[in-house]
Amino acid sequence: MTLMSSQPKAADRAYVRIRDKLLDGEYTSGHLLSEGTVATDLGVSRTPVREAFQRLQTEGFLRVYPKRGAVVVPVGPDDAHGVLQARLLLELFALDSLAARGPEAMREVGSALLRDCEEEQKQTTPASAREFGREFHIRLMRAAGNPVLGELYETLWNRQLRIAAAATAGPDHAAADMAEHAGIAAALHDQRPAEARELLTDHLAGVLHRTGFSGRPSLPPAAGVDGLWP
């Protein structure tokens, strides 16, 4: 009889451990790592590691070269800006969808988020703060009512983990994040969608800035509206 009850699969454990090593900088950008070495490093066979490599490749962490190995893809300013712009596009869409569903929907979602923000602020740890940020934005995204975009956003979040890693590693940017989250939730609760939009834009700009990158994510204006072309 086995002592382990309902153990998560070795492939999942390998995925998490490798991802953490990537986020902690143990595997540095540009480094070439092989299935075999990682497998012996984790104490498992190559098969689960291979599975984890594929997941990490689809999420943008690794790039697997046939018969060569997998390189840790470096994350640069372009990637950071691209991810934040994508988040801005999707999350503003979520806000607009929520607003279009009516004031009571906004109030409901806003109050729930606000309550959990306060709950988290009571006793927060770096780990819980990181997890809360993920929950906050994913719940906001789900409020749009489009499951397809919700799933897309989750992969997007995994992509930005490496970018955000630098941020959460800093002083306590978590506090700033939390305050901005609460502000967005409050604006939703008070049914001021325009303010929520501005606060969200500022929040993502803040995230980008706190990670050490310059610039400010923005979306292009709707093409063809008066004034775009004189």
Partner DNA sequence: AAACGCGAGCTTGCATACAAGCAAGAGTGC
Partner DNA sequence: GCACTCTTGCTTGTATGCAAGCTCGCGTTT
Which residues of the shown chain bind its own copies in the complex (CB under 8 A)?
Answer: 9, 51, 54-55, 58, 60, 66, 78-79, 82-83, 85-86, 89-90, 92-93, 95-100, 103, 146-149, 151-152, 155-156, 159, 191-197, 219-225, 228-229
- Six-digit token string for 28: 């540095």
Q: How far apart (Å, rounded) are the C-alpha atoms in residues 18 and 16?
A: 6
Q: Does 10 bind DNA (CB under 7 A)?
A: yes
Q: Does 69 bind DNA (CB under 7 A)?
A: yes
- Beta strands 62-65 and 69-72: pairing type? antiparallel
Q: Does 45 bind DNA (CB under 7 A)?
A: yes
Minimum CB distance to its own copies smaller for 94 or for 129: 94
Using CB under 7 A, pick the residue from 17, 21, 51, 139 that binds DNA: 51
Q: Does 31 bind DNA (CB under 7 A)?
A: no
Using CB under 7 A, pick the residue from 17, 46, 209, 210 that binds DNA: 46
Contact window for DNA (CB under 7 A) among 45-53, 126-134, 140-148, 151-159:
45-53
> DSSP per residue over 122-148, as a string?
HS--HHHHHHHHHHHHHHHHHTT--HH
> Can you give 52-119 as a three-state secondary structure string?
HHHHHHHCCCEEEECCCEEEECCCCHHHHHHHHHHHHHHHHHHHHHHHHCCHHHHHHHHHHHHHHHHH
Angle among Cα 160, 161, 165 to the nearest 5 degrees reads 120
Q: Which residues contact 195 (CB under 8 A, 6 or more apart)?
A: 187
Contact window for DNA (CB under 7 A) among 65-73, 90-98, 105-113, 216-224:
65-73
Q: How far apart (Å, rounded) are the C-alpha atoms in residues 217 and 137?
A: 17
Q: How far apart (Å, rounded) are the C-alpha atoms in residues 53 and 94?
A: 32
Q: Does 30 bind DNA (CB under 7 A)?
A: no
Query: Which of the choices DNA, its own copies, none does residue 70 contact, using the CB cut-off of 5 to 8 A by kind?
Result: DNA
Q: Which of 63, 211, 83 is nearest to 158 (CA)?
A: 83
- What is the smallest separation between the CB atom of 53 and DNA, expressed in angstroms? 7
- What is the smallest separation between the CB atom of 145 and its own copies, expressed in angstroms? 9
- Six-digit token string for 5: 């009850």
Minimum CB distance to DNA smaller for 28 or for 123: 28
Contact window for DNA (CB under 7 A) among 62-70, 118-126, 165-173, 195-203:
62-70
Which residues in this chain contact DNA in the complex, by CB under 7 A?
2, 6, 9-11, 34-37, 44-48, 50-51, 64, 66-70
